[in-house]
A and B are shown apart, each in its own frame.
Chain A
Amino acid sequence: MTPNPIRKVLIVGGGTAGWMTAATLAKVLKGVEITLVESDAIATVGVGEATIPPITTFNQILGIDEADFMRSTQASFKLAIEFVDWTGPGSRYLHPFGGFGLDIEALKFHQIWLKARSEGSQQPIDDFNLSATAARMGKFMLPSKDPGQVLSSLKYAFHFDAGLYARYLRSYAEARGVVRREGRVVDVALRGEDGFIRSVTLDGGHEIEADLFIDCSGFRGLLIEQALDTGFEDWSHWLPNDRAVALPCQTGGDGLTPYTRATADTAGWRWRIPLQHRTGNGYVYSSRHISDEDALARLRATLDGPARAEPNVIRFKAGRRKQAWVKNCVAIGLSSGFLEPLESTSIHMVQTGITKLLALFPDRGFDPVEIAEYNRLTTLQTELIRDFIILHFKANDRPEPYWREARDMAIPESLQRKIELFAARGRLFQSDYDLFAEPSWLAVLLGQNIRPRGYDPLVDSLDEQLVRGQLQRLAALVRQTAQALPTHEAFIARYCAAPQFEKTA
């Protein structure tokens, strides 16, 4: 047996990060007392949230029934993100889940497609991705488990109401023994001998001790920063957006799309996340380039329907906590760093924080070895996500000062190298630590108008006639498969409709 096992865990902060952590620890750990402190007086940031496919693994680990969870969180399915106006007015592209086409021996499919395009083919690469094709048609169905079926290539995630999601996980966690304490943290006591956290005190005077503290308190980092002075690495010179205003509205416009939309605007970008009962909207912007009033006015002007709440302004700074794990405190969620939700990575970063914590679960000795590895992985993973997000801003074709500055900025060397390699002959190599696999980079590089000057010369070794035929058959197969699916709305209506599900069709 481990001689000094962790006996008590205290999670500071509810919200998505806090309750995801509480639920997972309650499920996985045995014989550990888990307490979560949150205050109803402190608003959580969570708005309409979009996720990425690994969330389904998270649900499986918890043993969550998908339809039940979707019904409880007003959720819809997500197959892609649609990027609108990023390379000029009217431009649009999809970043879908899943891969494109089929590789031929050692040749990547997209290289074959690049050659066809260089010879005048107009066929979009989306025609070779089922998630993208279904997204465009507004269709959805759960993927087939039979790898021989085209439908098995469908990859999906969810849109859901983050507040309801936290509530859902709270019941899950409380049912498994997590104790929730209502209150605001007013004091954090450190141990004199080593500076570890000993306890936190709530506004009622109640003091809670623990072996391991998890900081899910959001941007301010109540424990990791305010108590432990960890420091913050500022990335705002790459990602200048520092505010968001969120405003849900009644469903309208294109309705319940099975995809998120991210529309570039004068000084940032706007999200549109369709849920069953309403649509989540927000404008992420740089306060140097637009005033709060103008940003809100712009958001209001672009809503699909009447607003359904008061606007909520969120302030932040892009960057990461220098160490996500210090002493006996692990920061999970926004307390560990912030990247704007352009690629729906917030919840995923919570998930990987929890996964890493479990893989490196400490004992009361808090060996520096676990801490070093946790921080090394967090840094690598976060930097790769950062690069991917910077790419969207760097490679734009918009005229406004905000966008010109983004185009002219110096970018991390790791990203520069990737762009140059792709711009030459469409080549991509992936780090094992990168959340975003080749197809994701491909979709965004192409979508942001980085058009390779050439293609892999070895594609010339293939029989052109044969390849042309194969491409046509493949696109037809994808199209037919998508066409045969039910609409997203119809599928939700029969699979996981919440009582308030409004049909807009």
Chain B
Amino acid sequence: MRSGRPLPLGRVAIIGGGIDAWMTAAALARATGGRAAIRVVETGPEASGARSTLPALRSFHALLGLDEAALMTATRATYKLGSRFLNWTPGARHCEAFGEIGARLEGVEFHHYWARLRQAGDSAPLDVFNLAAVAADLGRFAPPSPDPRSPLSTLTYGLHLDAGLYAGVLRDLALSHGVEAQRGAVAQVIRDGVTGDIAAVALADGERVEAELYVDATGPAARLIGQALDEPFEDWSSLLPGDRAVRLTAPAPDVAAPLTDIEAVAEGWLWRIPLQGALDSGLVYRADLTDDAAALEALSRGLAEDGRSEPEFRTLTNGRRARARVGNCVAIGGAAGGIETLDATDLHLIQSGVTRLIALFPRPGDGPAAAQEYNRLGAAMIERMRDMAILHYRRSGRRDGAIWDLGRDAPTPEALAYKIAQFESRGRVVMYDEETFLEPSWVAAFIGHGVLPVRHDPLADRMPLDRMRATLERMQAIFRQTAEGLPSHEQALAQVGMTDA
């Protein structure tokens, strides 16, 4: 145990493993500046596979002082301009890319002009007006331009990362900031008889870990908040049908497009996340409809046999902990909740949990207000993310698997139903508080999944049709030319000194 004078920000014990634990440790170490004793008890689970991430993660890295080039090299990372959805209706494809779609014209959002053009009989898909989507489709990439006049200034990007390596980078960073780590297993969580708070975590080797703040980073097992504190779990399996996943990694000599592929098949949906020299693939399915062997077979279709990793199966639970912060315990990541990773939200859930913990960092004796606010904001955020995941299922046109019927027919939460009705009627994008996805993402998801506005903003009618058509054609040509002029994804990665020359 640490000895000497108590530190002003007290002791934090993080129990668990993987990215959940190390993201928390690294961020808290940075935020507390060495004035808290932070300790990680590595009980697992370990991180495996790859992660597809949102642009917001990069600002988190900046806050941690992580150099992006070094991070990318260390984690076999590739760039991500968005996600490509394939066959959610058989034969259909669309891109949900980061960055802007088209440009606002005369004070009216671009997609109203697109809708008007479509009503006039033109058939250009929305993607051709999204520079990121065009570039990604061509396998090209460039970082955003700082010049606001350049179309490249509208670009923004996320990363594809190897999860185990990423956890390692965060671990090294945390340790370099004085975080202590030990392996161990939880034997018992001892609670204070009066307050019900955690008094200590007894490890299998007999050691008692005491702290003012306990972080449950044990993933869906929720060893502290669920098993010990009995905080209920709000189950969303009636809203989202996936409940099991299998994944594996295969070698990939060529650098793929800077995209995550999300492809629907009869059994569920596949992800393909490109890494440097490798491709991480997985299938999300439903255990009572597809057994593991069939799932593995579906995943393996079209993948080269050589060099594949062993398949890894895991159970998914869509839902959230009723309260992620209870007493002196905070659940971060999987212990707090999760949703099918259709939209690359799993790291974002960890990031937002940690960020909120930093904004509402507790000290003994604090009243309930901060914990209540933590839980209120966290609940709103994961619900908005969940709504995006549900949207994909609700409008799928697949008829070849029972999972798709379940996804289509499940109830739609009221907030999402309102959002869909608003968009479908006149292209209005409703943004609630605590949204993770910005307006262009919602527009791309709606239109991509066939939620097409019946009407558009009448103010888009002020522009004469031929002028509008010419403007949109010019826009399309500029995006195409700009994208064609960009380096390939491979060249872009080489520029940060990463690919083997």
Contacts and interface: CB of A to CB of B under 8 A. Distances in A.
B35 A460 contact: yes
Nearest to B377: A429
A157 B422 CA distance: 34
A313 B422 CA distance: 43
Interface string B278-316: 000000000000000000000000000000000000000
Contacts of B426: 360, 367, 369-370
A433 B431 CA distance: 10
B457 A421 contact: no
A367 B455 CA distance: 10
A301 interface: no
Given A106-B358, A432-B431, A2 B31 contact: no
Contacts of A29: 459, 462
A431 interface: yes
A458 interface: yes
A112 B116 CA distance: 52
A363 interface: yes
B373 interface: yes
Contact of A458 (B31, B107, B369, B431): B31
A361 B458 CA distance: 7
Nearest to B32: A461
B105 to A, nearest CB: 13
A369 B428 contact: yes
A424 interface: yes
Contacts of B33: 461-462
B298 to A, nearest CB: 40
B399 interface: no
Contacts of A372: 418
Interface in A104-123: 105-106
A1 interface: yes
Nearest to B65: A105
B190 to A, nearest CB: 25
A460 B9 contact: yes
A361 B366 contact: no
A106 B31 contact: yes
Q: How big is the B interface, by class?
A: 35 or more
B172 interface: no
Given A30-B462, A367-B425, A461 B9 contact: yes
Contacts of A423: 369
B421 interface: yes
B361 A457 contact: yes
A373 B360 CA distance: 33
B370 interface: yes
Interface in A339-397: 358-363, 367, 369-370, 372-373
Given A106-B31, A361-B459, A424 B367 contact: yes
A369 B361 contact: no
A432 B362 CA distance: 25
Contact of A5 (B359, B430, B432, B458): B458
Nearest to B430: A373
B433 interface: yes
Contact of A106 (B35, B355, B363, B366): B355
A433 B63 CA distance: 27
A417 interface: yes
Contact of A369 (B63, B358, B360, B425): B425
Contact of B370 (A360, A363, A421): A421
Interface in A25-46: 28-30
A425 B370 contact: yes
B45 interface: no
Given A369-B425, A431-B433, A458 B361 contact: yes
A421 B373 CA distance: 8
A28 B458 contact: no
Contacts of B125: none
Contacts of B456: 2
Contacts of A444: none
Interface in A457-502: 457-458, 460-462
Interface in A1-22: 1-2, 5-6
A187 interface: no
A369 B360 CA distance: 38
A433 B355 CA distance: 22
B373 A458 contact: no
Contacts of B31: 105-106, 458, 461
Nearest to B116: A1
A462 B8 CA distance: 12
Interface centre among B358, B362, B456 (most CB of A within 10 A): B358
B458 A363 contact: yes
Contact of A461 (B34, B355, B363, B422): B34
Nearest to A1: B461
Nearest to B431: A432
B461 A429 contact: no
A367 B35 CA distance: 58
A265 B286 CA distance: 68
17 contacts: A29-B462, A30-B462, A105-B63, A106-B63, A367-B455, A369-B421, A370-B425, A373-B428, A420-B369, A424-B366, A424-B369, A427-B360, A429-B373, A432-B433, A454-B363, A457-B8, A461-B31
Given A29-B459, A420-B369, A429-B359, 11 more contacts: A106-B63, A106-B355, A361-B458, A367-B455, A369-B426, A373-B430, A429-B377, A432-B433, A454-B366, A458-B32, A461-B36
> 8 nearest interchain CB pairs?
A461-B33, A369-B425, A420-B369, A2-B458, A421-B369, A30-B462, A461-B32, A457-B363
Interface of B: 8-9, 31-36, 63, 107, 116, 355, 358-363, 366-367, 369-370, 372-373, 377, 418, 421-422, 425-426, 428, 430-433, 455-459, 461-462, 465
